[in-house]
A and B are shown apart, each in its own frame.
Chain A
Amino acid sequence: MRKLLFLLCCIPACVEAQTYAVANIPDSLQANARAIKRSESIRMTVKSASKAIIRHKYAITVMNEDGLRYSGYSGYYDKMIRINEIDGKLFDASGKEIKSVKKKDITDRSQDDDMSLITDGRIKQHRFYSTSFPYTVEYEDEIEMNGIFNLEDWMPIPAQKYALQQSSFTVEVPADYGLRFKQFNYAGAPVVTNSGKTITYQWELKNVPGFVSEPFQPDVSQVLPHVMTAPTKFEFGGYQGDMSTWQGLGKYISSLYVGRDALPENVKADIHRLTDGISDRKQKIRLIYEYMQQNTRYISIQLGIGGLQPFPATDVATKKYGDCKALSNYMVSLLKEVGIWANNVIITAGEGERGLLEDFPANYFNHAVMCVPDAKDTMWLECTSQTVSAGYMGGFTGNRKALFIADDGGHVVSTPAYKAKDNLQIRSIMGAINPDGHLAVDVATHFTGQQQERVHGLVHGATEKEREEFLNEAISLPTYKLEKFNYVETKGIIPAMDEYLKISAPNYAAVSGKRIFVMPNLFNRNGTKLPTDKPRRFDILLDYPYQDVDSINLAIPNGYESEAVPKDVSLKTKFGSYSISFKLNGNSIAVVRVSERNAGLFPATDYAALVSYYEEIYKADRSRFVLVKRDVTP
């Protein structure tokens, strides 16, 4: 009888132990995995247009040190999002419970993101510190949203080398709520149950092995299972809206901007003084844009509804700062003063971001710009930069769909897309190599569009001295001295930057006895060598098109002749074209390199072709001349 009792007591423990035992993970999931999500349940209960509760429970087995980043809990909250509860446990490899979360071990700090002067975002964090891998952490929290502008997304696999045993996503909404959702890389449809009062949607995924990232792959959110959800009618910060159409979402945003376009008299006077009497509309816009740039700076303050609603234009005018929304709204207000109608545009900013998906209205946005619409020549303006050219969007906001805010609501628009001929790097190198292998060159480079962005930053973000210090460290030559440098900017819709460098590089060419080895392609060597050992899984994304042209002329010392002249290469593929030619004309090496990249999404089956394309470029870019001293004895 005693024995039986003992057994009975043991049962619940054993059951639990089995749940998270590492032995229960199928081998197929352990391969490549630094962490394995054992189970997950996200349950979002939408109570009303402004209130939702999200219960999230998940268990992750951390396989090794590389998986440490998945071992903790991190929960965001602010004035409108509350964390009601945090709970958690630590289990060893056998599935035995070791520890549980103690309230005092949960840290609470301000979000302080470096970008903002102030936000009301805060973060609660917890971590069990265990060193005996593998182990399992289980966390559970409840979040209460008081105000809905976003609903929860489900992306059960967050990154590479992360396997998934089971995850489910359940959304319960009032029967008349009109939940909208969009699935990516998810086979089948959610299980829908209707209780009369509420409708419940459920997605589930099981047993997905970890994957390994591949070069040039699209963002994980586009290639992994992902479900986005969004409301129809919603309420956020005391304002109501309907985001089932872009127009409705735009209307909501537009209501937040109402009455925020008034300008103080002195600013009105400034604007008129600046533009009255100028008839060219474009010129007017440019002048006002430059006025805005000279009289403001970017300072981010995100408090409550202030995440969506701009500071009034009067505040920007007097304080001379604002965030992206406030500055864009200010610019719209300035233009309005001289009778030019312009519009705020909200957008997903960031290099390589794809922007909103037209068929699924939702909140994709993290930035605001503005534009002056015109039937054939719309002018786009980024208002957080004090130096960028009027009309230039660049890699940060160009080439994507965004939401144009008008009085009648939102409209999807496309920002300018830049082509290879817009993104140029045309370089001419003239120089000489002496018999000791010392190199002296003049380098003149014309950068445009996205290829000038880095140089633009160097010119506007650094002092002359800092530029000199930077250039003295940054050029890829073994040892060198920057003798002179100069930059000239040409503003425009496609801005350009001309760079001139005078460089001396001792011992650039290797001299061995009577031979000199010269790699004439000094600066533009493609460094991409693609791995070939695993079959390609993901499609290939080449994110922006560009063209590079390098013309190199290097004089060589008298009395040398070529022992080896590199072979010319010319390639034309769907990814782009490349050619390089090498000549020795008398005492001068002449090289012309032309490389153009096509942007686009290419099927995974094209990978082998991409590998060999880059392989050939890699080799050709490193081609060497071998010069040998002519035998003078007859």
Chain B
Amino acid sequence: MKNFMVGVMSCLFLTTAIHADAQRPNIKFGDVKPGDFAAKLSQIDSNANAIVLSDIASSKYEGDNKGGFSIIFKRHTRIRIMNRNGFDVASISLPIYASGNLEEEIINLNASTFNLENGAVSETKLEKNAIYKDKYNKNYTIRKFTMPNLKENCIIDIKYTLKSPYERDLRSWQFQGEYPVHWSEYDITVPTVYEFVTFRQGYHPFAVNTAKTSEETYNILLPGTSASDRSETINFRSTIVNSVWAMENIPALKKENYTSTLKDHVSRVDFQLSKIRYPETPVKQVMSSWTTVAEEMMKDPLFGEGLTKNLGWLDDELKNAVAGATTDLEKAHKIYDFVRDNTTCTDHDAKYLSNPLRKVWQSKTGNVADVNLLLTAMLTRQGFEAHPVLLSTRENGKAYEAYPIMDRLNYVVCQVKVNDAPYLLDASHNKLGFGKLPSDCYNGYARIIDVLPALIDLKADSLDEAKVTSVIVVNDEQSGMTGSYSSILGDNESYNLRETMVKTTKEDYFKKVKSSFGMDVELTGSEIEALKTYDEPIKVKYDFKMDFSEDLIYLNPVFSEGYKDNPFKAAERSYPVEMPFKINETFVLRMDIPKGYKVEELPKSTRVKLNDNEGMFEYLVSGIDGVLQLRSVVKLNRATFLPEDYQSLRDFFAYVVKKHGEQIVLKKIKS
């Protein structure tokens, strides 16, 4: 499967078209014909509530009056709305960004609805006073409107131009979306002043994929630096590269369970500025090697600069933090706990400081970069070798291993070395233990920001979620039976239970356990161990009493611990299965046969493998010498599976569910 395709669009070497085939449609705003309403539906359209007939955009550089370039982004989208359930597509939000005096602006917005009435096309224009402005927050204003006069089987045309002063930020393009798309095209024209790396992903082929060079003259107005200084227009002639990508008949994006994010699967192109070549100045390397990026990050006031400088203010805090610790490991541990317990993380999607570290500490709040860079600074100040580590969370999508693309990264953790052993730390979650990361961080790899920016492997396939449960039941002195249950949870389940216990009490938790038993039992000695000891897995334990009197006892030997439902219910799959970790669950039962009973029937023991060696299910049961014994292991050796392997994965769990439903039958011995 070709998931990621990375191509360097090096402008200098691309002098001729590299590829061209399909005919590019020429679509004019408002040019809607009666036949467009009756066009035959193709395979991808059947069942669609709306069809994007064409979505065509371009980004083009233009000289501006501030001495540089602006980007003119034009987009024309034509959508055929098949029925009422597709009407939502006609409510549009256009976010417009502004920061300081650099503002994006919409310089042109036209939209119309077309209906076929008595064989003729009628047009209803969007009125200007029906375009609303919502000042969403400090940086974003949202232009909102909804199309007028919508009817089933209408066509809407929306065209706008957005002018952006952010010349380094070339808009990405998504070919695929919630609805099927007949033609999606993106045309960019970039002066060779800017060199971008292009990233393409998805499974759908290009219909057009061309690049050609030519020349163009840009008029740039250099404003005067003072009142007396006149502004001056310069004519700047540059080689330009024009690239066009288009796709045809792109099916709608589909949501599926166990996908880390759809962002990884959608067909799109992204750009990253790599070099700037201003005339008569040396080439400015914007994106280079990880070594250079790491070096720059370490000097960046919004990242690493404060990690080593002027940290005297931390000394008192550190003294408090490490009080009582004797070994280095204890000290590192205490500093981690100190930061974790005294700060609140309000944004888990950030890679730059929102405030200088000292401010972060004073306010005790910040984003994940604030918190974990503060942790890094404290550890460094204490004398440890500690470095920030950058990564992209599962929700944010895959990051490219080879390219230092900051836009793709969204999370900062910390690596500390104690007695040469490295530990990855995340103080931004208040119930995480020392040396543990949230499963959302296991998304491929992470990058240490240091002189040698090493790669750290963080694959979900390497994360083991092991759970061991054992139940022992013995005949007691009287007529009944006494059991004891204990379960050591995996890291992820421990974390989730800790979160759950914030909102519930131990009593309520065990009340639920009791009612899940399926028979009347009495619970005693119930305990959730290590609930607040975040470095350790949680152990849940309790004792129970049960009584049997019937002639026949039907007993499920996995109690309520078994799989009752197949986690993979859907019959089909289009994307890979991406579970957050590898499942490894062991359940062991040792139970005296109740006094006065004998085994009438036992389920069959079995052991099966999933696809060679990708998983294993073991169900071993015996009933000899007055003792029932069962061991059930469900184990996957990987967390990700290709769509081709989906059916066997589904069958595997169907089999687990079947075996976990089987019963032991015990019969009263007739006296």
Contact = CB atoms under 8 A, between A and B. Distances in A.
A478 B566 contact: yes
Contacts of B663: 510, 512, 515, 517
Most chain B beta-carbon neighbours within 10 Å: one of A117, A386, A473: A117
Nearest to B563: A478
Interface string A384-397: 00110000000000
A533 B85 CA distance: 48
Contacts of B221: none
B47 A465 contact: yes
A320 interface: yes
A110 B150 contact: no
Contact of A321 (B48, B132, B146, B654): B146
A118 B144 contact: yes
B19 interface: no
A479 B653 contact: yes
Contact of B84 (A117, A301, A386, A480): A386
Interface in B571-630: 571, 601-604
Contacts of B174: none
A482 B569 CA distance: 11
B273 to A, nearest CB: 31
Interface string B657-668: 110011111000
A110 B135 contact: yes
Interface in A9-51: none
B151 interface: yes
Contacts of A512: 601-603, 662-665
Contacts of A297: 84, 87, 150
Contact of B571 (A299, A321, A472, A529): A472
Contacts of B142: 110, 112
Contact of A472 (B124, B552, B569): B569
Contacts of A506: 654, 658
Interface in B365-406: 365
A117 B144 contact: yes
Nearest to B658: A507
**Range for the number of chain A residues in contact with chain B:** 35 or more
A489 to B, nearest CB: 15
A513 B150 contact: no
Contact of A110 (B134, B602, B664): B134
B134 A118 contact: yes
B136 interface: yes
B343 interface: yes
B242 interface: no
Interface string A499-521: 00000001100111111010000
A469 B364 contact: no
Interface string A77-90: 00000000000000
Nearest to B134: A110
Chief secondary structure at chain B's binding surface: mixed
Contact of B134 (A112, A386, A482): A112
A318 interface: yes
A624 B663 CA distance: 12
B342 interface: yes
B503 interface: yes
Nearest to A466: B47
Contacts of B146: 117, 299, 321
A463 interface: yes
A295 interface: yes
Given A319-B148, A321-B146, A472 B570 contact: yes
Contact of A108 (B137, B566, B603, B657): B137
B308 interface: no
Interface in A473-499: 473, 478-482
A459 to B, nearest CB: 11
A211 to B, nearest CB: 15
Contact of B364 (A130, A472, A626): A130
A479 B511 contact: no
B135 A320 contact: no
B136 A110 contact: yes
A464 interface: yes
A582 to B, nearest CB: 16
Contact of B665 (A321, A387, A515): A515
Nearest to A469: B570
A514 B667 CA distance: 14
A478 B661 contact: yes
A279 interface: no
Closest CB pairs A-B (n = 3): A129-B365, A507-B658, A129-B344
Given A529-B515, A531-B511, 18 more contacts: A64-B502, A66-B502, A117-B132, A117-B144, A118-B134, A131-B430, A320-B150, A321-B148, A387-B84, A462-B85, A472-B571, A481-B571, A507-B657, A510-B663, A511-B662, A513-B604, A515-B601, A626-B554
Interface of B: 47-49, 84-85, 87, 91, 124, 130, 132, 134-137, 142, 144-146, 148-152, 257, 341-344, 346, 363-365, 430, 502-503, 507, 511, 515, 552, 554, 563-566, 569-571, 601-604, 650, 653-654, 657-658, 661-665
23 contacts: A65-B430, A110-B134, A110-B136, A112-B142, A117-B144, A118-B132, A118-B134, A129-B346, A131-B344, A299-B91, A319-B130, A463-B85, A466-B47, A472-B569, A478-B564, A478-B657, A507-B657, A510-B662, A513-B604, A515-B665, A517-B554, A564-B552, A624-B554
